[in-house]
């Protein structure tokens, strides 16, 4: 599902955020990206959703070469990805419903279909009763669940998450993990950056460890 070949990324001369990364992630896998702050986790995720481009190397998602895509093609593959951030990145002026509906509107779906899918996605995260609220009226955990609903409403082939539990308390973290496991069980390949060792211990999956822009460990369970 994800193939990364000899990828290098540097933001500035003389320092590299990623150095010769090679990685294959199969369809349906659940993979943690771990490593200390500055190791390159966010950068790798950004390259996987096309938020940044590598200086060298190739990235394929579902057999399509991201690195060769132009600005017109990239949005097509991006629409099939779900992305969850540590700081949620919800649009505060829009309701919960509108935040989740946005990805489907961009796809040009019919209004009836959008309503049905948004409702189902919010029900999946237990927030169908809050669809008319705005993000700032919700707790942090609820906001993150809205962000997860937004990511999952498109039935993503790949779910990418950058420290999604970083701002959550332990109990809310477990709820979020159940949602990720559910998405994974329904077929989404999951790549989640985290430095939460306890989380990895409780939900053991493949762990790819980065250090200083290199893969230093890759342990399958």
CB of 15 to ligand ADP, least distance (A): 7
- Residue 38 makes contact with ligand ADP by CB under 6 A: yes
- Residue 40 makes contact with ligand ADP by CB under 6 A: yes
Mask of contacts with ligand ADP, 86-105, x by CB under 6 A? x-------------------
CB of 64 to ligand ADP, least distance (A): 23
Which lies closer to ligand ADP via its Cβ, residue 40 or residue 156? 40
Provide CB contacts within 8 A for 125, sequence distance 6+: 145, 146, 148, 149, 179
At 10 the three-state DSSP class reads coil
What part of residues 120-179 is at the interface with ligand ADP (CB under 6 A)? 163
CB of 23 to ligand ADP, least distance (A): 15
Q: Are 96 and 122 in contact (CB under 8 A)?
A: yes
Which lies closer to ligand ADP via its Cβ, residue 43 or residue 165? 43
One DSSP character per residue, 126-140 reads T-GGGTTS-GGGS-H
Which lies closer to ligand ADP via its Cβ, residue 57 or residue 182? 57
- Return the closest-CA partner of residue 154 out of 53, 40, 77: 77
C-alpha–C-alpha distance, residues 167 and 144, integer Å:
9
CB of 213 to ligand ADP, least distance (A): 7
Q: What share of the chain is helix, strand, coil (3-state, %, to 5)?
A: 35, 25, 35
**How many H-runs (helices) and E-runs (strands) does the chain carry?**
7, 10
Question: Please, where are the H alpha helices in 36-110?
Answer: 41-48, 74-78, 96-106
Q: Segment contacting ligand ADP (CB under 6 A): 34-42, 62-70, 134-142, 149-157?
A: 34-42
Number of residues interacting with ligand ADP: please give it, by CB under 6 A. Answer: 13
Which lies closer to ligand ADP via its Cβ, residue 28 or residue 38? 38
Q: In which order are the strands placed within the sheet that holds 158-162?
A: 81-85, 158-162, 189-193, 30-34, 206-211, 214-219
Which residues contact ligand ADP by CB under 6 A?
11-12, 17, 35, 37-43, 86, 163
């Amino acid at each position: 599902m994800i193939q990364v070949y000899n990828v290098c990324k540097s933001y500035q001369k003389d320092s590299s955020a990623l150095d010769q990364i090679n990685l294959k992630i199969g369809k349906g896998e659940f993979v943690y990206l771990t490593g200390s702050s500055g190791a390159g986790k966010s950068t790798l995720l950004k390259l996987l959703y096309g938020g940044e481009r590598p200086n060298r190397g190739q990235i394929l998602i579902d057999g399509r070469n991201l690195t060769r895509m132009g600005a017109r093609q990239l949005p097509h593959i991006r629409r099939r990805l779900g992305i969850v951030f540590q700081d949620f990145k919800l649009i505060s002026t829009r309701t919960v419903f509108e935040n989740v509906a946005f990805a489907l509107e961009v796809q040009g779906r019919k209004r009836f279909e959008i309503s049905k899918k948004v409702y189902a996605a919010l029900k999946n995260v237990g927030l169908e009763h809050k669809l008319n609220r705005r993000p700032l009226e919700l707790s942090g955990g609820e906001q993150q669940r809205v962000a997860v609903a937004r990511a999952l409403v498109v039935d993503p082939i790949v779910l990418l998450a950058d420290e999604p539990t970083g701002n959550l308390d332990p109990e809310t973290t477990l709820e979020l993990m159940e949602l990720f496991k559910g998405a994974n069980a329904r077929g989404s390949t999951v790549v989640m950056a985290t430095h939460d060792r306890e989380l990895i211990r409780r939900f053991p999956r493949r762990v790819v460890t980065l250090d200083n822009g290199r893969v230093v460990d890759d342990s399958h369970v």
